[in-house]
Chains A and B, each alone.
Chain A
Amino acid sequence: MGEDRRRFLKLAGLTALCAAGKGSLARLAGAETTAAGGAAKQVRWAMVVDPRKCLEKEGCTACIDACNHAHNVPSFDNPKHEVKWIWKEPFADAFPDQDARYVDPALTAKPALVFCNHCDNPPCVRVCPTQATWKRGDGVVMMDWHRCIGCRYCMAACPYGSRSFNWEDPRPHIKDLNPDFPTRTKGVVEKCTFCDERLDKGQPPACVAACPEKAMIFGDLNDPDSEVRRLLRSRFALRRRASLGTQPEVFYLV
């Protein structure tokens, strides 16, 4: 199924781009995914969220605070200019296609933790006109703040609202500056990058490390013995708007 889809996309792209010549075709194929080839050895990072554990501590924002500090995420009074990498969203808005009408309202009234899904088939990467956002071999959807032209096409394409734009200079609005992480300039898009800077050092993402309930589990999907695979084998999990074919790699245990 996944393979068919990929082939179909490539074929469709091929037809549309026949005028563009060989060079651009190579680029298209390259942008589609790199996972097909070295799937066996390549790491594929993913996150499993256990909402029951997460909701145990009412009003806990440990992961959000850790992320905001680690990445110099600014905080604006004007909600229209909000920048957020990880936040809480009402269940019905995070999972619009899950009709939870008769579920105990105590469960559905509680928010879900949302952030970038690091889709296997990311629409933001497909639309970006400068490759300022791209998918790494390990599946992390990255963002180059120095190349981004601020066209916000990725924000229109993301079905999860995971991306934020710097409507003004964020620097004066950073509460507690972390000198080890870059700040951004006005006019660029930013989002969660699974803490690529920590992954490089062999550490889990900051939110995972900060969670007192261990409600976020991070690991390698390509390793059948990893904890994420073990959890997904034994428990049913939801993915946000899976019907769109984006293949989100953030799973929510039921």
Chain B
Amino acid sequence: MLEKALVGSRGYWRWLLVLGAVMVLGGIAYLRQFAFGLGVTGLSRDVTWGLYIAQFTFLVGVAASAVMVVLPYYLHDFKTFGKLTILGEFLAISAVTMCMLFIFVDMGQPTRVLNVMLYPTPHSLMFWDMVSLMGYLVLNTVISHVTLAAERNAVAPPRWIKPIIILSIPWAVSIHTVTAFLYSGLAARPFWMTAILAPRFLASAFSAGPALLILFCLVLRRITRFDAGREPIQRLAIIVTYAMLINVFFVLMELFTALYSNIPEDAEHFKFLYVGLAGNSTLVPWMWTSAALSVAALVLLVNPKTRHNETTLAAACVAVFVGLWIEKGLGLIIAGFEPSVLGKVTVYTPTLPEVLISLGIYAFGLALITLFFKIALSVRGQVAA
């Protein structure tokens, strides 16, 4: 089936070339980091995790969101999502791959990373995160390959794949729950030590992921002969709307608890994010942009007129995705370290190599999605003429 990715239009190759160039830049930046150490990043003794770990966290959500098309289709026999499940699974595969790469580039001693398997440590949540991510990658690879092969051969998928698909549903929830547990079990970091972190992660994942899927469908309709159809997109839009409402609700609950109780060590992190702390307000404009995008997205999504209009729906999806990326891919991780356990606020600004490495990984993920979608659409004979 892989050979289908090797033939394509000029636009297809040009797009892959652009992504390849970004990957090369990221690779060069990584070589620099590999030689010098993580000191090439903006991280410090006080802010020990930053852009990489935040991207990992955000992308685990994107990966988990595949369940939002798989669950209705397989558990509720919701046929409308029939064409979308494979896209959701491919999105999951590339997102999980990006997650692993982001973890890898964050390691101080990348050549020793297999120590996690050599000395399995069940009392470390990082061990369980590795297990759940690996498992999810295997599940989705097997499921997408088997179902697509069956589709190509115009036969029904083998019966044994059904329980594996069912298993992938709780597994998707587990990857983001375990990822939240990485943070929410740390007594040292009150900003993360909240029982609502995992539910909040899931809510944001189930809005950002399907929003991205809607955008993919709209793009694919333009550049290929694949048309997801109006109905599935509208159904996805309803999922995005509810999940986004729940996410904003959860964030407001966090804000209330921290600010009304006014326990300094809980409130300070939110102050850092929204008004600045000890003269450091690097994230303040970002966080208010995120809040504005979330409100704008909700206005467009809740209103049936703008939700039914695919142009305004696309705008809403971009707002959801960017707003949540700021919330989770910037604010959530960095604010855990601001102030530090010793009360210090240290400026963290990602450096050029750090940004290039991150962009390189995103380019790699996009290239994977491109190849996967190309294969899926070629099998269905829906590639653009």
Contact = CB atoms under 8 A, between A and B. Distances in A.
B147 interface: no
A123 B186 contact: yes
B107 A151 contact: yes
Interface string B77-114: 00000000000000000000000000100111110110
B49 interface: yes
A215 interface: no
A166 B108 contact: yes
Given A28-B122, A156-B188, A187-B37, A161 B340 contact: yes
B108 A152 contact: yes
A159 B187 CA distance: 7
Contacts of A158: 188, 341
Interface of B: 36-39, 43-46, 48-49, 103, 106-110, 112-113, 115-116, 118-127, 130, 182-183, 185-189, 265, 336-337, 340-344, 346
A142 to B, nearest CB: 14
Given A94-B342, A161-B46, 16 more contacts: A20-B122, A24-B122, A25-B122, A93-B342, A93-B343, A126-B124, A127-B124, A129-B124, A147-B119, A156-B188, A157-B188, A159-B187, A165-B108, A167-B39, A167-B43, A168-B37
B46 A188 contact: no
B349 to A, nearest CB: 11
A155 interface: yes
A78 B346 CA distance: 13
Interface in A154-187: 155-161, 164-169, 185-187
A199 B198 CA distance: 44
A-B CB proximity, top 7 nearest: A150-B108, A187-B108, A80-B44, A167-B39, A159-B188, A186-B37, A24-B122
Interface of A: 13, 17, 20, 24-25, 27-28, 31-32, 78-83, 89, 92-94, 96, 123, 126-132, 147-153, 155-161, 164-169, 185-189, 244-246
Contacts of B49: 152, 156
Contacts of A155: 48
A10 B205 CA distance: 32
Given A123-B188, A244-B188, A186 B108 contact: yes
A226 B113 CA distance: 43
Nearest to B130: A129
A13 B121 CA distance: 12
A25 B187 CA distance: 23
A244 B187 contact: yes
Nearest to B38: A167
A149 B111 CA distance: 8
B37 A167 contact: yes
Given A81-B44, A93-B344, A187-B37, A150 B109 contact: yes
Given A93-B343, A156-B336, A187 B107 contact: yes
Contact of A161 (B186, B187, B342): B342
A247 to B, nearest CB: 12
Contacts of A96: 265, 343
Nearest to A114: B342
B315 to A, nearest CB: 37
A127 B183 CA distance: 10
10 contacts: A93-B343, A96-B265, A130-B116, A131-B119, A147-B115, A155-B48, A156-B337, A160-B188, A165-B45, A189-B108
B107 A245 contact: no
Contact of A245 (B38, B120, B187): B187
Residue with the greatest number of chain A CB neighbours at <10 A, chosen from B107, B119, B342: B342
Tell which of A159, A187, A244 has the most Cβ of chain B within 10 Å: A187
Contacts of A17: 122
Contacts of B116: 129-130, 149
A100 to B, nearest CB: 14
A31 B123 contact: yes
A93 B340 CA distance: 10
Nearest to B183: A156
B126 A151 contact: yes
B265 A149 contact: no
A106 to B, nearest CB: 21
Contact of A27 (B36, B121, B185): B121
Given A187-B38, A188-B109, A131 B187 contact: no
Nearest to B188: A159
Contacts of A151: 103, 106-108, 126
A187 B342 contact: no
Contacts of A31: 121, 123
